[in-house]
Amino acid sequence: MSTKLRAKMVIDKDFQIARVDNRIYGSFIEHLGRAVYGGIYEPEHPLANEQGFRKDVIELVKELQVPIIRYPGGNMVSAYNWEDGVGPKSERPKRLELAWRTIEDNQVGTNEFMDWGKAVGADVMMAVNLGTRGIDAARNLVEYCNHPSGSYYSDLRRKHGYEQPHRIKTWCLGNEMDGPWQVGHKTAEEYGRLAVETAKAMRLVDSSIELVSCGSSNTMMPTFPEWEATTLTHTYDAVDFVSLHQYHGNAENDSPNFLAKSMETDHFIRTIISTCDYIKAKKRSKKTMFLSFDEWNVWYHSNESDTKIDPWSVAPPQLEDVYNFEDALLVGSMLITFLKYADRVKMACLAQLVNVIAPIMTENNGRSWKQTIFYPYMHTSVFGRGIALQTVNSSPKYDSKDYTDVPYLDSTAVFNDEEESVTVFAVNRHLEESLILNADVRSFEGYRIVEHIVLENDGDLKAVNTADHEAVKPHHQGQSKLDEGMLEVVLPKASWNVIRLAKN
């Protein structure tokens, strides 16, 4: 194995960051575009089950092993009346959905989505409306979902055919309330006060729930990170997480700069951690605030086509990004970044799951398929469970338009102590040359290479997957060898790599 570019890594089982909360591999379904109608739910589809959910989509989601799914929004939740989506379907109203200017017919609501979550093996992260509504609607929804019986809303759920409570554990206090685009947009003071009082009421109904306070919608917001500092002054003692949202794009077609954008994600996380810890110190608290990166992805391909959609239609194709190969590389780097902060990032939701900026695409009354980003998401979800390790990396670097000292190697490792295995996730950002990675794994005595999965595409960064042709898919012929505790791996140019080791 010879090349001009070499990188080094030390992986030691005692250098532990934290046990990975599996919920960092979560996702998101919003009542937006064809995510629900035509995505997960299509009663007329030949593969629909008795409830109208597409069984082909269920199987693809199960392949991803998604542990938690955020629902029902997103921007949509800020003008949503949850009562519209429960009870007999024939009696549910059609509403003007203000966030995306469509018609919502409410044929899927809380109970149906809970059934779908069970079908795919995922918990649900429920969001409440703090835009047009507030304390009363939120506490009533908790009662409807989580209280066993003997009260108005719990008995209403039972009347609707759900005898047992849903026991939803994780709840979002609104969505992107810092954004002027949000229906019911709030100032930081307004949101902080409303959120803490809503949290109080929700916990009085069910003291076992976890709550997520709205953080900044992105790092370009003029209020970032003062928004977090102000809102957490109110909510710090009442919530368990603060949210982060971030999307990346490559509209300028600058691939080296695009592949470095996970460094912006790293900066975002570090800034929010420091802001949370400032409020912790200010309050002289012993409580640590955790992060929920509950919206993240690549999003820019569909921007132009979305401007041409006629308003007030039902489930039009919105935000249907067709992902290319380089998008998959950045998605892999973002997942690596979350693992590097496993001590603080405890939840994350790839936005979204089906059709809308999603790893899974469908045709109405037709086929389903895997987008390019499906693969790094699946690999980390399946193999990235256990203890995140603090690796020591050394790599050649480059400068791009917006970033300096970008390492060609983006990598981390997860030790599964139960299965006695360790997985290395690695992106080679170099577009022209392979990279030799020499990793010291001597603390894993008696381990062998199980497999080396590679996602590469021979330099075609713009290749996409369609229903007719899967141009981008992983292979298992990666070049790697292990000799006396020293691992040597060839990372092909512009590639995503999964190297799995296990004890003999």
Catalytic residues, which ones? 176, 295
Whole-number Å distance between alpha carbons of 170 and 348: 13
DSSP state of 51: T
| Alpha-carbon gap, residue 70 to 464, rounded angstroms | 27
CA distance 432 to 435: 10
Query: Any idea what DSSP says for residue 427?
Result: E
Asked if 334 and 26 count as a contact pair (C-beta separation under 8 A), the reply is: no
Residue 291 near residue 349, CB atoms below 8 Å: no
Q: Which of 338, 230, 227, 235 is nearest to 287 (CA)?
A: 235
Cα distances from 191 to residues 213, 231, 241, 281, in angstroms, run 9, 7, 15, 22
Classify 498 as helix, strand or coil. Answer: strand
Interatomic CA distance for residues 25 and 177, integer angstroms: 24
Q: What residues have CB less than 8 Å from 221, skipping those under 6 apart?
A: 178, 179, 227
In this structure, are strands 406-407 and 421-428 parallel, antiparallel, or unpaired? unpaired
439 has which bridge partners? 9, 487
Phi then psi dihedrals of residue 492, to 5 deg: -60, 160
Which residue do the tokens 């012929």 mark?
477
Please report the DSSP string for 266-323 in residue order.
HHHHHHHHHHHHHHHHHTT--PPPEEEEEEEEE--TTHHHHTTPPSS-SS---S----
Q: Where are the beta strands (DSSP E) in 59-135?
A: 68-71, 95-97, 102-104, 123-128
Helix and strand numbers (H, E) in the chain are: 11, 25
DSSP string, 279-291: HHHHTT--PPPEE
From CA 340, how far away is CA 319, in angstroms rounded? 29
